[in-house]
Structure 1
Amino acid sequence: MSQVLASQRAESVGVKRRHGATGDMVFSAIVLCCGMFVLIALLAATFSMGWGGLLAFRTFGLEFIYGTEWDPVAQKFAGLVPIYGTLVTSALAMIIGVPISLGIAVFVTEVAPRWARGPIGGAIELLAGIPSIIYGMWGLFTFAPFMSDYIQPVLIDWLGPLPLVGALFSGIPMGIGMLTSGIVLAIMIIPYIASVMRDVFLVVPAQLKESAYALGSTKWEVVRDIVIPHTRTAVVGGIFLGLGRALGETMAVTFVLGNTHNIAISLMEPGNSIAAAIANEFTEADTDLYLSSLIGLGFILFVVTFIVLAAAKLMLLRIARQKGE
């Protein structure tokens, strides 16, 4: 009798193991398909944009990257102007947005009273959920006139005559332009960067901060020597996440950048970006070369974004190696 029960128990265990092995294989196959979907989608997007811009690259060669002429009538296209505008506005957004995001995250996690942390955190999340076209309309109808009437005249009068930085702040206070676009982009990326920083600051072990306070450290010293070094990998990742957001922004930049194909040193002057050029002119592309040039700009934007994110990944790996992770 005991032998029969033992054999039945062994058979049930074997059945469970077979079912478990089958379920594990199905689960592995499903998650493998999910992981491969990302790679397939990335490769498909790269191939489609590269193939769509092939005619432009064949026609103009490397001049398509470093040339400045954009003339749909003469069928001559080059992408340096929108590339320059994309890089400048994104750099301005990062210069303005990163310190403010860091200040917000430190205030919410280390300085603000507990009753204020929830409302401020909720406001950050709501700010991140505002559609970009709303930012663009606000920038065009409200912020650009404010810049034209109050900010740009002061910058031109006070900084324009200076020998080194004066060229960046010379021109006519039109409201729209590189500086306005950079500020609007900074407002857009602040919630993303601040949210990441806030979340990683909250997971810093309390024992580390309490030990620093016990040794007589101030809040500034705790943030500088404990919080930021402990979370710098995630902080850098959040910063590059915001940079990727700024590089690909379309509607907000389209409203306030000016959309003119010229390169100007002054930040007061209007310009163009890759995303804005594609959004403005895609429906007007009446020839194959015109359409291929716009798709080629999209491919360049894809490559620039990929390089930025790859550089971020390499930086994070280097930081991890330095920490011994």
Structure 2
Amino acid sequence: MSITIDRSGGAHSRRLRKRGDEVFRRATLAAALIVLAVLTGVFVSLLVGAWPALRTYGPGFFVTESWNPVTERFGALAPLYGTVVTSIIAMVIAVPAGLGIAIFLTETCPRRLRRSIGIAIELLAGIPSIIYGIWGLFVFAPFMQTVVQPAIISTLGEVPLAGPLFAGPPYGIGLLTAGLILAMMILPFIASIAREVFLTVPDMLREAAYGMGMTRWEVNRSIVIPHVRTALVGGTMLALGRALGETMAVTFVVGNAHRISGSILQPGTTISAVLANEFTEATTDLYTASLVALGLVLFIITFLVLSGAQLLLGRMRQRAGA
């Protein structure tokens, strides 16, 4: 007696699986292409919208401080300067504080407090930016005007090198206030990233370092941070990308003055604040094109920063998988 095996059903099933895999591959490829198409479309739209201003002013648009809608003289230097200064202030404050919080949570925090502090950080990250702006305008700026800025002016205002950075009357609002608000906003972001990165350090490295007699400070300085340096830099650049594009909170407290001042206590402006304040007030095509050109500058800067961050994080993942 012979047994006949029908292989047609198995072959049909394999064809269906291959067809399903091909459909899935094409669907995911289409999704990726949609993302690239949207990114390219945004860039092209900004470039087309900004072209009248770029054609009129040329490279001088990026190095001109003047911003006068009446005479139609526009330059990006003042908002670009304010964007860079406020972001630097925020990073100088938030990065050390965020790393300190992450080290505390992963190394020294009691277990009963670790979860509570972690939840508090996540809640702080979830507060809408406009809430930060309102609090900054009605609570933080008056405190800066009456307490912090007078103390800074009296102590650092006469220092030969640092004095110009803290010159002028205490307005409360200004570049320093905006930078501090930005620091508060990106602090939980940096702390969360650093915490997750520190948790990837093998316990074996820590235990070996402690076994050699190292202190906690020496372990973190010589073992933990060098081991994850690339990921920390990438995460910090992601936070910088958020700081560069922050709008509402900065608009409330930066002062919205189109000028460049050597003092960080004086009012200034940022690219996002200019766009939020003036886009609906643009009455001429050249005015609108100048605002779109500012948006193009912000888009390029943010894209470069975030691309650099992704490259660094990618290197970290490759090293972890090696």
Aligned to 1:80: 77
Aligned to 1:291: 288
CA distance in 2, matches of 1:12, 1:211: 59
Q: 1:272 aligns with which of 269, 275, 279?
A: 269
* RMSD over equivalenced CA pairs, Å: 1.9
Aligned to 2:154: 157
Aligned to 1:187: 184
Contact 2:53 2:293 in 1 (8 A): yes
Contact 1:177 1:257 in 2 (8 A): yes
2:209 pairs with 1:212: yes
Shift of 1:3: 3.8
Q: Which amino acid aligns with 1:204?
A: V
Shift of 1:212: 1.7
Q: Which amino acid aligns with 1:139?
A: G
Shift of 1:227: 1.7
CA distance in 2, matches of 1:181, 1:88: 10
Question: Structure 1-normalised TM-score?
Answer: 0.94
Between the aligned residues of both structures, percent identity stands at: 54
Higher mean Cα deviation, 274-283 or 26-35?
26-35
Which of structure 1's runs of 4+ aligned residues deviate more than 3 A?
A: 310-325
Contact 1:88 1:178 in 2 (8 A): yes
Aligned to 2:246: 249
What SS does the corresponding residue of 1:163 show, helix, strand or coil?
coil
What SS does the corresponding residue of 2:160 show, helix, strand or coil?
coil
Aligned to 2:10: 13
Shift of 1:210: 1.6
CA distance in 2, matches of 1:185, 1:232: 23
Q: Which amino acid aligns with 2:188?
A: P
CA distance in 2, matches of 1:85, 1:164: 21
Aligned to 2:30: 33
Aligned to 2:145: 148
Contact 1:93 1:186 in 2 (8 A): yes
Seen in structure 2, the aligned counterparts of structure 1 residues 2 and 257 have a Cα distance that, compared at 3 Å, is farther
CA distance in 2, matches of 1:116, 1:282: 47
What SS does the corresponding residue of 2:257 show, helix, strand or coil?
coil
Q: Which amino acid aligns with 2:175?
A: M
CA distance in 1, matches of 2:97, 2:2: 74
Q: Which amino acid aligns with 1:271?
A: G
Superposed, which structure 2 residues align to 1:1-325 within 5 Å?
A: 2-4=2-4, 6=5, 8=6, 10-313=7-310
Structure 1: stretches of 5+ with no match in the other structure: none
CA distance in 2, matches of 1:309, 1:262: 28
CA distance in 2, matches of 1:26, 1:33: 10
CA distance in 1, matches of 2:262, 2:13: 71
Seen in structure 2, the aligned counterparts of structure 1 residues 167 and 318 have a Cα distance that, compared at 3 Å, is farther
Shift of 1:312: 3.7
Contact 1:233 1:320 in 2 (8 A): no
Seen in structure 2, the aligned counterparts of structure 1 residues 144 and 72 have a Cα distance that, compared at 3 Å, is same
What SS does the corresponding residue of 1:61 show, helix, strand or coil?
helix
Q: Which amino acid aligns with 2:264?
A: L
Aligned length: 322
Contact 1:132 1:252 in 2 (8 A): yes
Shift of 1:310: 3.6
Higher mean Cα deviation, 258-267 or 14-23?
14-23
Q: Which amino acid aligns with 1:102?
A: L
Higher mean Cα deviation, 225-234 or 85-94?
225-234
Q: Which amino acid aligns with 2:89?
A: L
Question: Structure 2-normalised TM-score?
Answer: 0.95
CA deviations over 1:104-146 (Å, ceiling 9, x no partner): 1000111100011101110111111100000000110000011
What SS does the corresponding residue of 1:173 show, helix, strand or coil?
coil
